[in-house]
Amino acid sequence: MNRRQFLGFTAATAGVITLAAAGSAAMIFEDSYTYIPALLRELIGDYSMAAEQEQAFIDALARDYGEQKLMAVIGLHRIRNTTGLGIAYTNDKIDQFERRLVTDFLISTDYLRQPKTARPQLSFIGYRIPCNNPFARFT
């Protein structure tokens, strides 16, 4: 292999790596407005909710959790679900995020007040309002 072939091979390899990295970044940093509702449906089951109310919940979650942190956790979650890769630390963070997401969703919507149906119609009440917790004990 001469120098020209080596440089051509190196440039081609760098191009492939760049394209793969861009594709991975696009796969990891998926839009939270599509990923979070899909994750909620996977975790709690199917439901129906107006798009504006769903977006309001996701916006409130992003403000509380932090937008960059939310995108990072979504990326880690997607990598773990797609490839099965993860270490104990990241798996613990993803499990905590899933629990927090479900808790915040149940308390921020009228999910627990709906009759048990196959696909309940939910409404966003407000993000993490303590009085919405049906399990709170007032003394």
pLDDT tens for 101-120 read 999 999 899 888 888 888 88
> pLDDT per residue over 58-110, tens digit each?
999 999 999 999 998 998 888 888 888 778 888 898 999 999 999 999 989 98
Query: Domain extents for the chain?
Result: 31-132
Greater confidence (21 vs 2) lies with 2
Categorize the per-residue pLDDT at 32 as very low, low, confident or very high, splitting at 50, 70 and 90: confident
Whole-model pTM: value is 0.72
3-state SS, residue 72 = helix
List of residues 6+ apart from 70 with CB closer than 8 A? 32, 61, 62
pLDDT at 41: 95
CB contact at 8 A, 108 and 132: yes
